[in-house]
Amino acid sequence: DTGVSQNPRHKITKRGQNVTFRCDPISEHNRLYWYRQTLGQGPEFLTYFQNEAQLEKSRLLSDRFSAERPKGSFSTLEIQRTEQGDSAMYLCASSSPIKFRTGNTIYFGEGSWLTVV
Amino acid sequence: SQQGEEDPQALSIQEGENATMNCSYKTSINNLQWYRQNSGRGLVHLILIRSNEREKHSGRLRVTLDTSKKSSSLLITASRAADTASYFCATDSPNFGNEKLTFGTGTRLTIIP
């Protein structure tokens, strides 16, 4: 079990530049999630995929953000024209299919820190 | 927006003592989960309790859930220095299964050796 892998772990970029983060979920997990976490706060949901389909997007995901999961395996999160307010940790997570009203554990990666200067 | 609020925001105790953290939430839930996060790291799942359960144990962890009060507590017994971390509760909605977890603001726990 290699766990959820994210890279890069740290990224410093100048305001206005584009950045892309990659997430490799646990291999048998068909659900993949992106969360954002700022200092002193809990993670906030951004979006999730079931296989390659993006099924829900938060209002936090502005049009500068785009997430893809082209073959239902790894996912990328791109932020265009970065702003200082985008500075945060971006967390990826994955899980197995769930049954109605039974809980399922979501496994998180170590996160990708973004600093926009 | 944050669904839950953890209480206290920060807690410092001596090693060996018990630590209790509370979580309150606002809407109906399917499940409530507790996660631990070491500084600058990802989240580690600790325990899940379903809405029809009232108490659950896992090792040194004890979780209670009171759906009438929309609250949960996490008790860590016989604390160790390695328990120093932030602890978050997370809830999911009956409308969404667990596609979307809503996290609280966390309790930062410091264990003093």
Q: Give the closest of A43, A55, A103 to B103, CB-based.
A: A43
Full residue range of the structural domain in which residue B89 is found? 4-112
B43:A43 CB<8 A: yes
Q: What is the mean pLDDT of residues B37-54?
A: 92
- Contact flag B105-A108 (C-beta cutoff 8 Å): no
Percentage of chain A modeled with pLDDT above 90: 71
Q: Measured between CA atoms, how close is A94 to chain B, in angstroms?
A: 10
Inform me whether the C-beta atom of residue A9 falls under 8 Å from chain B C-beta atoms.
no
Cβ–Cβ gap A110/B35 under 8 Å: no
Domain count for chain B, please give it.
1
Does B102 score more than 60 pLDDT? Answer: yes
> Which domain CATH number covers B87?
2.60.40.10
Residues of B in contact with A45 (CB under 8 A): 100-102
Beta pairing, strands B55-58 & B61-66: antiparallel
Give B-chain residues touching A89 at CB under 8 angstroms. Answer: 40
Q: For residue B40, what pLDDT is reported?
A: 85
Q: Has residue B12 got a pLDDT over 70?
A: yes
Query: What is the band of A19 on the pLDDT scale with cuts at 50, 70, 90?
Result: very high
Minimal-distance CA residue of chain A relative to B29: A101
- B98: pLDDT strictly greater than 70: no
- Nearest by CB to A103, which of B35, B50, B102? B50
pLDDT at residue B4 greater than cutoff 90: no
CB contact under 8 A, A98 and B97: yes
pLDDT confidence bin for B99, thresholds 50/70/90: low
* pLDDT band, very low/low/confident/very high, at B69 (cuts 50, 70, 90): very high
B72 touches chain A (CB under 8 A): no
Q: What's residue A100's pLDDT?
A: 46
DSSP per-residue codes, chain B: ----EEE-SEEEEETTS-EEEEEE-SS--SEEEEEEE-TTS-EEEEEEEETT-SEEEETTEEEEEETTTTEEEEEE-S--GGG-EEEEEEE--TTTTTSS-EE---EEEEEE-
Identity of the residue in A41, A105, A109 whose CB atom sits nearest the CB atom of B48 = A105
Name the strand (E) or helix (H) holding A54: strand A53-57
- Confidence label for B95 from pLDDT (cuts 50, 70 and 90): low
The percentage of residues in chain B with a pLDDT greater than 90, rounded to a whole number, is: 71
Q: Averaged over A61-82, what is the pLDDT?
A: 94
The β-bridge partners of A111 are none
Using a CB-CB cut-off of 8 Å, the residues of chain B touching A91 are 42-43
* Of A60 and A97, the one with more pLDDT: A60
User: What is the band of B2 on the pLDDT scale with cuts at 50, 70, 90?
Assistant: very low
Sign (positive/negative) of CA torsion A92, B72, B96, A45? negative
